[in-house]
Amino acid sequence: MPLGTLLPRVVPFNRLSRPKRRRMTAIIGFMNGSSAILCADSLELIGEYSKGSVQKIHPTTYFKNYRLGIGGAAQNAIYLELFERTLNRNLAKATEFDYGKITDSIEKALIEVHEKHIWPKQLDNQFQCLIVIQGLRPQSSRSLIITQETTLLPVDEYKTIGVGADMGDYLRRALFPRDGDIYNSPTDLLVNAGIFMIGEIKKHIPYVERETRVVVFDGMTGEMQWKSTADIALSEMWTNHLQLAELHLRHLIMNPPAKDEDWEAGWTYFKSQIEQVRGAQKNFMDGSPILCPPLGWIRKVEPEQALQKNTKLSVSRKSKGQR
């Protein structure tokens, strides 16, 4: 063989190797005087190029006495899943709601995963979580905590984790500039603010994509509610109309030499667009169908109607012998 000949490098095939699954995400947590709210996108990056949809908010009810809602961002999703499984094992004997014991179990699970799997490999922080702890019995309650490696910190009003955290913090200060604004806001306002913030992050931050997910943990009633695809689509449509309507006004403010008639025309257009949005909101709340592309016509469904519909569907399936 002549000198200087390059030999091909042979890489042994590993049957057990799998592409790394990364949740390059944005998860937003709010807490006001009555509820805790988690909002997230649903993209999971598999390897370098492949993408998939995944549920990033995982609620679990324990012994009908308390509930945990975990939203996680991870460089490698396997460690996040390992933490959740370890935590479930630790809580298997925690039959009663005890905030101190629950947080101790969370911390114990974090330490176990880091000591066994992360620190020996000298890896950086591989995952971070926002966790809602919701008491159900004997009394309803809610709290929100954030993890940082093996540390737990309480969240007073707001926190965002993942690659969208910096933009989330900026949007939070734009929408709620003062301390206490979030805590004193109605739950519906925070839900729609979260939908708006996730939507803006998806527009500008790579790998924050797919459907927006929102879940509300009510600390007064002990209920948990997922916001429907229709609710989220309507909220996104209304805020998009608002942004388009105010764009012309922004341009006028940025142009001091603008004529009075231009201001009058711009203000008239803005008011007409906002009146259309507000009219559509009122009609929807009154039960009228609203056109919301790409879903089509949407009608508000009251909780009682949704329960009756699910009951009828269950009875129909049983009558047909379906399981």
Lowest pLDDT segment from 7-11, 152-156, 157-161, 174-178: 7-11
pTM as predicted:
0.84
229's CB contacts (< 8 A; 6+ apart) are: 211, 295
Q: What is the reported pLDDT for 199?
A: 95
Mean of pLDDT values over 86-110: 96
Q: What is the reported pLDDT for 98?
A: 96
Long-range own/partner contacts, residues 283-289 (CB < 8 A, 24 or more apart): 284/234
What letter does residue 121 receive in the DSSP assignment? G
| pLDDT, averaged across the chain | 86
- Token duo for residue 275: 């009146």
276's CB contacts (< 8 A; 6+ apart) are: 241
Q: How far apart are CA 178 and CA 197, in angstroms?
A: 17
Predicted confidence (pLDDT) per residue in 246-294, tens digit: 998 899 999 999 999 999 999 999 999 999 999 999 999 999 998 888 7
Closest CA to 193 of 209, 205, 177: 177
Confidence of residue 24 (pLDDT cuts 50, 70, 90): low
Matching residue, tokens 């709290």: 143
Q: What is the reported pLDDT for 121?
A: 87
By three-state DSSP, how is residue 194 classified?
helix
Q: Give the number of C-alpha atoms closer than 13 A to the C-alpha of residue 303, restricted to the C-beta side.
A: 5
Q: Could you tell me where the DSSP H helices lie in the chain?
A: 77-90, 99-113, 165-175, 187-204, 229-253, 260-285, 303-319
Name the residue type at position 11: V
Phi and psi of 101, rounded to 5°? -70, -35
Predicted confidence (pLDDT) per residue in 117-146, tens digit: 999 988 877 899 999 999 999 999 999 999
- Token duo for residue 318: 């049983």
Indicate the burial class of 73 (C-beta count within 10 angstroms; 0-12, 13-18, 19 or more).
buried
More confident of the two residues 12 and 180: 180
Residue 16 has pLDDT above 60, yes or no: no
Lowest pLDDT segment from 84-93, 165-174, 204-213: 204-213
Q: How far apart are CA 25 and CA 198, in angstroms?
A: 10
Matching residue, tokens 């003062």: 178
Q: In what order do the strands lie in the sheet with 151-154?
A: 57-62, 66-74, 127-135, 141-148, 151-154
Name the residue type at position 279: G
What letter does residue 274 receive in the DSSP assignment? H
Residue 1 has pLDDT above 70, yes or no: no
